[in-house]
Chain A
Amino acid sequence: DIQMTQSPSSLSASVGDRVTITCRASQSIASYLNWYLQKPGKVPKLLIYAASSLQSGVPSRFSGSGSGPDFTLTISSLQPEDFATYYCQQSYSTPGTFGGGTKVEIK
């Protein structure tokens, strides 16, 4: 199985900060990497698919990059509604493993 390692597991940031979350796959997954946001008690929401494609309706402050084993999610200017947990997920092969999550908290 492909293992997905996210870092950091948590971070504190302020509104307006630029935030970067990384995700590393245990083997090459081409661009089969997706990013989700989940708020407490809520359903996960797709932000980025295929490593860098912005899901419809998602603000342009979210961007994704990378290929092969290393990927990055960037929030260019953190907004109050962005405080949540972020998950990466590989969709290259079954099982479609998720990373452990990165909790973004208010500083």
Chain B
Amino acid sequence: EMQLVESGGGLIQPGGSLRLSCAASGFTVSSNYMSWVRQAPGKGLEWVSIIYSGGITYYADSVKGRFTISRDNSKNTLYLQMNSLRADDTAVYYCARDGYNSRVGAFDIWGQGTMVTVSS
């Protein structure tokens, strides 16, 4: 069964850093386009970042320069390093696989989500 399992969320003070992990099973992270999508409490979905199979990365303007997407092929795991966190970064963060190499992503597999709360 193909699955994504996230970890690393929690409560963090403004300005702090956090690294989210997304462990994949049943498929290879490095062979797929992988993204992070977030959802603030009571709000809609917001695309955050993508890493292509070739390693190229893109970010939403709201996180550019603060967040870094990466992967560890040996661990079959996707990461999101989040620095200079702000209150408006508070959200459930999902990792997701693009099942169809659809440029930016048609996400057929999602993790269960990990909550990040930025508050003093």
Residues of A within 8 A of B (CB): 1, 32, 34, 36, 38, 43-46, 49-50, 55, 87, 89-101
Contacts and interface: CB of A to CB of B under 8 A. Distances in A.
B44 A91 contact: no
Contact of A44 (B45, B102, B104): B45
Majority-rule SS of A interface residues: loop
B61 interface: yes
A16 to B, nearest CB: 28
B111 interface: yes
Given A43-B94, A46-B107, A98 B102 contact: no
A98 B46 CA distance: 6
A96 B100 contact: no
B47 to A, nearest CB: 4
Contacts of A87: 44-45
Contacts of B112: 43
Interface of B: 35, 37, 44-47, 50, 58-61, 94, 98-100, 102-108, 110-113
Contacts of B98: 91
Given A49-B106, A95-B104, 6 more contacts: A1-B61, A87-B45, A89-B107, A91-B106, A94-B104, A101-B44
A92 B104 contact: yes
Contacts of B35: 96
A98 B44 contact: yes
Nearest to B111: A43
B105 A50 contact: no
A96 B104 contact: yes
7 contacts: A38-B45, A43-B112, A91-B98, A91-B103, A93-B104, A95-B58, A95-B59
A49 B102 contact: yes
